[in-house]
Chains A and B, each alone.
Chain A
């Protein structure tokens, strides 16, 4: 009796928290639509949304662009959040994040190569190349780690960072050949949400949905794997299949987000840790909810980036790194390693 009331209370708390997060996300979304280099009044926005008749076509186009951007921010944040929690679950490593493991930069490098040498132009080509790059990067990182005898949390991070540094210096090299495109260079170095098109969204939504579903389906299996491979085997979980599915889902989500927005760092890390702090370690909750927190974080970061300076916008990747890097340091301080 007592236990169930406690569970009820706990559930109520969690539902409250979820509602608060949803509300915050809605607020951030509206802020993202109204605020920016050019502010738009509420009435204008509403009439643009519902009547499609506007006095000024400029405001109209701005609003449509911003709405697209806001939805894109939510999806991107969600994808990176899920990807982060999948990576942390698969590697059983609290420091894992697509950007720290170099998966982001790998995808970014392949897209840049495609732009520079293969003259790719369609969204599907972008996404395809990004996926290949993410796979290569992930393969490299896990390959390096697999060679070793002992795996501790920091080994993986080091390999990931090395791969990430390698790819980002390669990106610089490729972009230097074409110095006319300094803006593009910046885009592929830090990531920004401003360049999304509706065509990109039509590709992103189905991939996001598939990735989300696969992730949620993997969650119980991953939960069992947290107890160790032996226990999971006894519970009837096929470790290999679950790990591969989760990995590929995480990589696809991250690669697509990177193909459309450039490498955005640390969202996975932030979202997953925040979610786990509030809702506990159960992956059935953590995975979907980290999508929510990721969306909230990325949308807010985007709004902040637009508000900080009057004349230009700060790329969202800069804001997330500024917040995420101290968190990484904090987490590294807490991680236990044997003294070398």
Chain B
């Protein structure tokens, strides 16, 4: 009897330990993100002091620094944090829902669906940012519908969903190529820049819609993250534990698709962010527990750092999507090897 109590004590100690560790890591992540954001405001072609940055942020006018920071660097940094949050959360939620580290909006063609819609907007209809965002959301949601519709059956195998997604992606890419070939040469640079995922030329006017969606979506997904943890155990068990499985899945999918689509409408598809965040988050925070917020922060961190690297590490200024692509591609292969070694892609990862 006593022994049993001891055991339970040990168990709780372990649990408390893990919980404390999660909080510590979470706070650390937040602090790192904050300092990187600050760094991205301070650092550039001309380096300003931190006090100057604070002066500008509090609304005082500092000659020179005011324009650079509030017109150029601040929108860019805000945009990268917001898109990073959106892509990170979406990637984590997708791969946890579908129980496969490869299932993320990029590979499933959801981002391609949004991109395709936006490219048509840019090249054919020359629409405003607002319309682009709405159309991107429609494209993303339509793709998710097609994805699950075409995969057939009530409980479609994740691998089948992924292959269907790959097919959809190929189709969308062909459509995108079609419009870039036939489109007006004058609009082409904008479309191509956008397609590579770039933060160049982001203005403060583009951000409010994205900000609203992310700031509503983030708490919502974090709240539902509790249920997501339970869903990991399997639909039946989750149901018996009192989770409304279908509703939770539906809300999570719609919210994350909206976040991805809005972010895509502003910056274009930034490659691999949604793929990279999932495994990294699970590694840092541990696989159990509500990691949604952490995933968002890691995504934001990734985008901000990748953008800094792309701007200043090379003689040529690379768009952020290229940097994340360069990091993400080998990581994808490595991940694939790991998964395969662990017992096939069909296994629950």
**Residues of A participating in the B interface, judged by any CB pair closer than 8 Å:** 95, 100, 140, 144-145, 147-152, 154-155, 157-159, 161-163, 165-167, 169-170, 172-173, 176-177, 182, 186, 189-190, 265-266, 309, 312, 314-315, 317-319, 321-322, 324-326, 328-329, 332-333, 335, 337-340
Partner of B171, one of A170, A321, A332: A321
Answer whether A325 and B150 are a contact pair too, CB < 8 Å, given A144-B337, A162-B336, A337-B159.
no
> Size band of the B side of the interface?
35 or more
**Shortest beta-carbon distance, A94 to chain B, in Å?**
12
B contact face: mostly helix, strand, loop, or mixed:
helix
Q: Are A166 and B333 in contact (CB under 8 A)?
A: yes
Confirm or deny: B44 has a beta carbon within 8 angstroms of a beta carbon on chain A. Answer: no
Most chain-A CB neighbours within 10 Å: which of B100, B167, B329, B347? B167
Partner of A337, one of B157, B272, B326, B329: B157
Q: What residue in chain A is nearest B329 (Cβ atoms)?
A: A166
Decide if B182 touches A149 in the complex (CB within 8 Å): no
Q: Does B346 contact A (CB under 8 A)?
A: yes
Check B53 for interface membership: any CB of A closer than 8 A. no
Contacts of A177 in B (CB 8 A): 316
Q: Which residues of B contact A339 (CB under 8 A)?
A: 155-157
Closest to B106 in A: A165
Contacts of A170 in B (CB 8 A): 325-326, 329
With an 8 A cutoff between CB atoms, is B289 at the interface?
A: no
In the complex, the answer to whether B337 meets A325 with C-beta atoms within 8 Å is no
Q: Roughly how many angstroms separate A8 CA and B316 CA in the complex, as a whole number?
A: 68
Q: Closest residue of chain B to A310, judged by CB?
A: B182
Interface pair A165/B163, CB less than 8 Å apart: no
A147 and B167 form a contact (CB under 8 A): no
Q: Are B340 and A144 in contact, with the CB atoms below 8 A?
A: yes
List of B residues within 8 angstroms of A159 by Cβ = 336, 340
Whether A176 lies near B159 (C-beta < 8 A) is: no
The chain A residue with its CB closest to the CB of B348 is: A340
Bound-state Cα–Cα, A155 to B163, Å? 10
The A-B contact count (CB < 8 A) is 162
Whole-angstrom CA separation of A159 from B162 in the bound complex: 12
Determine whether the beta carbon of B333 is less than 8 Å from that of A169: no
**Candidates A172, A266, A318, A322; contact of B322 at CB < 8 Å:** A172
Determine whether the beta carbon of B340 is less than 8 Å from that of A145: yes
Q: Is the CB of B343 within 8 A of A150?
A: yes
Q: Known contacts being A152-B346, A314-B178, is A169 close to B167, with CB within 8 Å?
A: no
- Does B319 touch A at the CB level, under 8 Å? yes
B120-136 interface (Cβ within 8 A of A): none
Is there a chain A Cβ closer than 8 Å to B32's Cβ? no
**Closest Cβ of chain A: how far from B57's Cβ, in Å?**
33
A315: chain B residues at CB < 8 Å are 177, 181
Q: Does B37 contact A (CB under 8 A)?
A: no
- For B167, the chain A residues whose CB sits under 8 A away are 325-326, 328-329, 332
Taking a contact as CB atoms under 8 Å apart, the answer to whether B164 and A340 are in contact is no
- Tell me if B158 counts as interface (CB < 8 A to partner A): yes
Confirm or deny: B180 has a beta carbon within 8 angstroms of a beta carbon on chain A.
yes
A312 touches B182 (CB 8 A): yes
A186 interface neighbour in B159, B174, B181, B272, Cβ under 8 Å: B181
Query: Chain A nearest CB: distance from B200 CB in Å?
Result: 12
**Chain A residues with CB below 8 A from B333, complex form:** 140, 144, 162-163, 166
16 contacts between A and B (CB under 8 A): A95-B163, A144-B336, A144-B337, A148-B340, A148-B341, A148-B343, A150-B344, A154-B163, A170-B329, A190-B177, A318-B178, A326-B171, A329-B164, A332-B163, A333-B152, A340-B158
Q: Counting CB contacts under 8 A, is B99 at the interface?
A: yes
B177 touching A340 by the CB < 8 A rule?
no
A161–B107 contact, CB under 8 A? yes
Given contacts A326-B171, A340-B158, A340-B347, 12 further A-B contacts (CB under 8 A): A147-B340, A154-B160, A158-B163, A169-B326, A173-B322, A173-B325, A182-B192, A186-B177, A321-B173, A324-B170, A325-B170, A333-B151
Closest to B344 in A: A150
Q: Does B92 belong to the interface (CB within 8 Å)?
A: no
